[in-house]
Chain A
Amino acid sequence: MDLGIDPERLNACVQCGLCLTACPTYRVSADETMSPRGRIALMREVQDRGAPLTREVVRAFDTCVQCRACEPACPSGVQYGSLIEATKATLASRRGGWIRALAFAPLSRPRLLRAGSVLLGIAQRAHLVPRRLGLSARIPLWRAPLRASGDDVWMFTGCVMDAWQRDVHLATQRVLEAAGFGVRPTGAGAPCCGALHVHAGLHDRAVALARRTMDGLPGDAPIVVNSAGCGAALKEYGHLLGTDEARAFSARVVDVQEFLARHVDRLPTVEPLALRVAVQDPCHLRHVQRAHEPVRTVLRPFVRECVELDDEGLCCGAGGAYSVLEPGMAGQIRERKLSSIGRARPDVVASANPGCSMHLAAAGVAVRHPMEIVDEALRLSARAGR
């Protein structure tokens, strides 16, 4: 069966296995069907050799977190992301992706998402939300409004994050302003980047959202993103749409830490917070954007100590909607992350991705966005100076 994968890309894998241990699902299962090498081999079995899509084969694809840790681990340069995205798109179209399409519909409709979130927040307070959804952080019922302070940069606000973690946006904006940049929040002009749609194989919807986002953010100001998942998706528009316009758009996209690392000298020097901070690298920052070093560059001046986790950037199991769709596997992957965090003994974990922080917070970890930490240091010293 044709999975719609480019044969050249599929053929690039030499089956050396060097990617196995970078893969979170292989790490917890020791099962080749849940490894990058295994998944690629199964894609070949199905696409090249006509093997049937058995339950185990589908399971192998469904359990992939799409963290893409296998890409930097692969010396042969296999573009695993594009292989699995094509596979998921084909599977989604086969089994009536409309259920998921419906589930994801509110993401691009801010008011609907907001209404749903408020309902969820109320339900949460009434203890009506099943624990398996892993929502620990309370969804806010009220949000401070966003306002523009200039036009130096766009601040991408996105969908779920804007509904659930607006505080992070406010902190991000204050930090950017402290570095002297005028900020324009993207808000309703670009309601959703489409990352979750790409992951779920909802290709057409993702393309439509990409176009809408591009139309909503004209000009050439940098588009600063504080969610690693959204940043990765926006940076891949060039690849998704294959047009010059999309490539030019993607070139404007920058992770907020990546952006600030270039301008650290513009941030005021302040008293560091008395915190031992462990940096958790979101997969889409480390493996896809490969922009995880800047998080340290930006954080270091503002905290007492910045420590590394000893698991070489292994995924935490959040994976966009993964923790909801595959709670068992996501939980096992998180266990490994938790023990690594335990060994690092931090006061707080810094995570630059909303999905990761919610997933970790649900297990009782104290997590904050790096921008919230920097913002707090800046605000404390401003208050002390007054």
Chain B
Amino acid sequence: MRLASRTRPRRGVPERDAALVRELVAAVGAPNVRTDDAQRALLRRDASVFDGGDAGPVCFPRTAEEVQAVVRAARRHGRAVVPRGAGTGLAGGAIPLGAPVVVSLARMTSIGEVDRDARAVWVEPGVVNLDLTRHLRPLGFHFAPDPSSQQVCTIGGNVANNSGGPHCLAYGVTNAHVLAMDVVLPDGEMARLGGLDPEPSGLDLRGAFVGGEGTLGIAVRIAVRVTPNPPAVRTLLASFSQVRDAANTVSAVIASGIVPAAMEVMDQRITRAVENYVGAGYPLDAAAVLLAEVDGLPDGTAHDADAIARIAREQGATEVRLAADDRERALLWKGRKTAFGAIAQIAPDYYLHDTVVPRSRLADVLEQVYAIADRHGLMVMNVFHAGDGNLHPLLLFDAREPGMLDRVHAAGADIIEASLAAGGVLSGEHGIGVEKQAYMDRMFTPDDLDHQNRLRRAFDPECAANPGKVLPTGHSCADIQQLSSAARGLWV
């Protein structure tokens, strides 16, 4: 790229990196290596609340082979690599620890031809989730995982975090939509994991890699499943005077045997914030709203929509509304999808949590979450993938207030405890990253952790891939370096 080529390495990375930088330049060309302070300062962090680590040289490879060459160059200099997509991760997965080489996949954006028989398409990791769906839509397909960040996050990031979204209730999270991958292993070798055959033979290493958060290597080509666009879609909005009623409706719908495409609950505070931002037509007086969607053949969806409406009323819904047309549908979803951002109008900073609890315990845990926030003097809002018990409590705060971050983290810890005590798990979809490392041994036995550790070492014997993430201290590749300044909050 012509513009970048005007900037030559300067200041930035230390002298001792000069030889490494030369090799990186040989690998990807000067315009695709950046070492300046500005670039490194920005890639020090992602969308999480963590203040960031320390980035070494930054590379922008354009092909799988260039990724390989970068990884090999880093290896020769004993340096780790950290892959990065769009940097929208909320668990700090893309934060570089110990000045590793940062490998941005954002320039690898080509989409192959759709294989209609295998219902698959090969894409490069930097393809933006929504761009893929927009590309597929005229062909009659879409990519089902739809994180709220879908207009920016990359398929590589989705794979690494095994990301989910509202429509993963019926369709499954990213893991269910990745058939095969070419990955550059931490030693620079390229390997194909999985395959387009319905029953690939051997160990399911593909499954192991999805959710690996960049600690097992870099995905450089991904064969994703394409999902046919449903012939009919119906979207309902139900209002409740108690959050508990909404949670119970969700359990009752699933118990009735219906599997909606999506079921999302938002509490009153978040509903109001969103309404103020997009004007989606949400009721402002309801304690909670449930957004449910069913898709499939027209008759089936009509039947399911009626059934959901009936169940909601039985559970005490004060109003049930069916979106009249695509426009209204899109607006209802726009409200849900911008929920995380819209709350920024209320407080300058937020911490978005992510835990999963058994559906039957949703209502109880929610009440605890409100109590925990009260106890710490914080404001909490709840928006969640109710269908699979995935809670997203949002703590609102102003990081400039002294002592505030400690309170936020203490409340976060209590929320995690409450979820685990209810039989839940640490993360629904954002990953462990640096955020939840310290809780891993609350969730897993030493034996479990040991196995995870061994799997990781099998891929990465020298701790060269995204070190310092996922596995807690005491395990290999964990003690690389503490965060330069732990959780200073959003970059103030």
Which residues of A are in contact with B by a Cβ distance under 8 Å? 11-12, 14-22, 29-33, 38, 41-42, 44-45, 48, 51, 54-57, 59-60, 63, 73-77, 310, 328-329
Q: Which residue of chain A has its CB nearest to the CB of B105?
A: A30
Query: How many angstroms from the CA of A9 to the CA of B334 in the assembled complex?
Result: 24
Whether A17 touches B39, Cβ cut-off 8 Å, given contacts A30-B106, A76-B344, is no
A-B contact pairs, 30 of them (CB 8 A): A11-B400, A14-B348, A16-B149, A17-B46, A17-B149, A18-B152, A19-B152, A21-B152, A22-B151, A29-B3, A29-B4, A30-B104, A30-B106, A31-B4, A31-B39, A32-B42, A33-B38, A42-B38, A42-B41, A44-B491, A45-B38, A45-B41, A51-B41, A55-B7, A56-B7, A56-B38, A75-B338, A76-B341, A76-B345, A77-B345
Residue B101 at the chain A interface, CB threshold 8 Å: no
- The smallest beta-carbon distance between B408 and chain A, in angstroms, is 14
* A44 cross-chain contacts in B, Cβ below 8 A: 491-492
B residues 1-54 in Cβ contact with A at 8 Å: 1-4, 6-7, 11, 34, 36-39, 41-43, 45-47
Tell me the minimal C-beta distance from A10 to chain B in angstroms: 10
* Interface pair B338/A328, CB less than 8 Å apart: no
Is residue B340 contacting chain A, with contact meaning CB distance below 8 A?
yes
Distance in angstroms between the alpha carbons of A10 and B316 in the assembled complex? 44
Q: Given A33-B39, A42-B42, A51-B41, are A15 and B491 also a contact pair (CB < 8 Å)? A: yes
Q: Can you list, as one digit per residue, whether each of B451-492 has a CB less than 8 Å from chain A (1) or not (0)?
A: 000000000000000000000000000000000000000111
Q: Is the CB of A17 within 8 A of B47?
A: yes
Chain B nearest CB, measured from A33 CB (Å): 5
Inter-chain CA distance A32–B1, complex, in Å, is 14
- Mark out the residues of chain B between 83 and 128 whose CB falls within 8 Å of any chain A CB in the assembled complex: 86-88, 104, 106-107, 109, 126, 128
Task: Kindly report which residue of chain B lies nearest to residue A35, judged by CB atoms.
Answer: B42
Nearest-Cβ distance from residue B487 to partner chain A, whole angstroms: 14
The verdict on B60 contacting chain A, using a C-beta distance below 8 Å, is: yes
CB of B333 within 8 Å of the partner chain:
no
Q: Whose C-beta in chain B lies nearest to the C-beta of A8?
A: B348
Candidate in A19, A57, A75 with the most chain B CB atoms within 10 angstroms: A75
Contacts of A73 in B (CB 8 A): 151
Q: How many residues of B contact A (CB 8 A)?
A: 48
Write the nearest CB–CB distance from A313 to chain B, whole angstroms: 13
Q: Closest Cβ of chain A: how far from B470's Cβ, in Å?
A: 22
Say yes or no: A17 contacts B42, CB within 8 Å.
no
Contacts A57-B38, A73-B151 aside, 16 further interface pairs with beta carbons under 8 A come to A11-B400, A12-B344, A14-B350, A17-B88, A18-B149, A29-B1, A31-B34, A31-B39, A31-B60, A41-B491, A42-B38, A45-B41, A56-B38, A75-B341, A76-B345, A329-B3
Q: Are A30 and B340 in contact (CB under 8 A)?
A: no
Q: Is the CB of B152 within 8 A of A17?
A: yes
B442 at the interface (CB under 8 A from A): no
A16 touches B47 (CB 8 A): yes
Q: Are B43 and A77 in contact (CB under 8 A)?
A: no
Q: Are A16 and B341 in contact (CB under 8 A)?
A: yes
Least CB distance, B93 to chain A, in whole angstroms: 13
**Within 8 Å CB of B37, what residues of A?**
51, 54, 56
- B342 contacts the other chain (Cβ, under 8 Å)? yes
Contact with A along B417-438 (1 / 0, CB 8 A): 0000000000000000000000
Q: What residues of chain A lie closer than 8 Å to B88, measured between beta carbons?
A: 16-18
B409 interface residue (CB < 8 Å to A) = no
Taking a contact as CB atoms under 8 Å apart, the answer to whether B151 and A18 are in contact is: yes
Q: A30-B107, A45-B41, A57-B38 are in contact. Are A14 and B344 (CB under 8 A)?
A: yes
A16, A17, A32, A74: the one within 8 Å of B43 (CB): A32
Q: Which residues of A contact B3 (CB under 8 A)?
A: 29, 59, 63, 328-329
Task: Say yes or no: A21-B341 contact (C-beta < 8 A), given A29-B4, A32-B39.
Answer: no
Q: Assess whether B340 is in contact with A54, with CB atoms less than 8 Å apart.
A: no
- Enumerate chain B interface residues (CB-CB to A < 8 A): 1-4, 6-7, 11, 34, 36-39, 41-43, 45-47, 60, 86-88, 104, 106-107, 109, 126, 128, 130-131, 134, 149, 151-152, 277, 338, 340-342, 344-345, 348-350, 400, 490-492
Which B residues lie within 8 Å of A42 (CB)? 38, 41-42
Residues of A within 8 A of B6 (CB): 59
Whether A75 lies near B39 (C-beta < 8 A) is no
Query: Once the chains are docked, how many angstroms separate the CA of A162 from the CA of B360?
Result: 69
CB distance from A167 to the nearest CB of B (A): 35
- Tell me the minimal C-beta distance from A17 to chain B in angstroms: 5
Q: How far is the CA of A44 from the CA of B490 in the complex (A)?
A: 11
Residues from chain A with a CB closer than 8 A to the CB of B128 are: 21
Q: In the complex the two chains form, what is the Cα distance from A301 to B169 in whole Å?
A: 44
CB of B63, distance to nearest CB on chain A (Å):
14
Q: Are B36 and A15 in contact (CB under 8 A)?
A: no
Q: Which 10 A-B pairs have the closest CB atoms?
A: A75-B341, A76-B344, A30-B106, A56-B38, A75-B338, A32-B42, A56-B36, A17-B88, A30-B107, A20-B152
**Complex contacts, B350 vs chain A, CB 8 Å:** 14
Give every chain A residue within 8 A of B106 (Cβ-Cβ): 30
What residues of chain B lie closer than 8 Å to A22, measured between beta carbons? 151
A60 to B11: give the CA distance in the assembly, Å. 17
Question: Given the known A-B contacts A21-B128, A48-B492, A51-B37, are A12 and B348 also in contact in the complex, defined by CB atoms under 8 Å?
Answer: yes
A63 to B60 alpha-carbon distance, docked (Å): 19
Beta-carbon contact of A75 and B4 below 8 Å = no
CA distance A75 to B383 in the complex (A): 16
Name the A residues within 8 Å of B2 (CB-CB). Answer: 328
Contact between B38 and A11, CB atoms less than 8 A apart: no
Determine the residue in chain B with the shortest Cβ distance to A77.
B345
Residues of B contacting A63 in the complex (Cβ-Cβ under 8 angstroms): 3
Question: Which residues on the A side are within 8 Å of B341 (C-beta)?
Answer: 14, 16, 18, 74-76
Given contacts A14-B490, A15-B490, A328-B3, contact A41 B41 (CB under 8 A): yes
Given the complex, which residues of A lie within 8 Å of B60, measured CB to CB? 30-31
Given A14-B344, A32-B42, A33-B39, the answer on whether A21 and B4 have CB atoms closer than 8 Å is: no
Task: Chain B residues near A55: list those with CB within 8 A.
Answer: 7, 36
Cβ B86 vs Cβ A77 within 8 A: no
Most buried by A among B43, B86, B134: B86
A15 to B43 CA separation, bound complex (whole angstroms): 12
Chain A contacts of B36 at CB under 8 A? 54-56
Distance in Å from the Cβ of B150 to the closest Cβ of chain A?
10
For residue A74, which residues in chain B have a CB less than 8 angstroms away from its CB?
341
Contact with A310, one of B87, B134, B151 (Cβ below 8 angstroms):
B134
Chain A residues with Cβ under 8 A from B34's Cβ?
31
Which of chain A's residues have a CB closer than 8 A to the CB of B134?
310
Which chain B residue lies CB-closest to A52?
Answer: B37
A20 touches B348 (CB 8 A): no
Minimum C-beta distance from B99 to chain A (A): 18
Bound Cα distance A328, B151 (Å): 26
- With a cutoff of 8 Å between Cβ atoms, the chain A residues found around residue B1 in the complex are 29
Q: Which residue of A lies closest to B104 (CB)?
A: A30
Q: B86 contacts A17, CB within 8 Å?
A: yes
Name the residue of chain B whose CB is nearest to the CB of A55.
B7
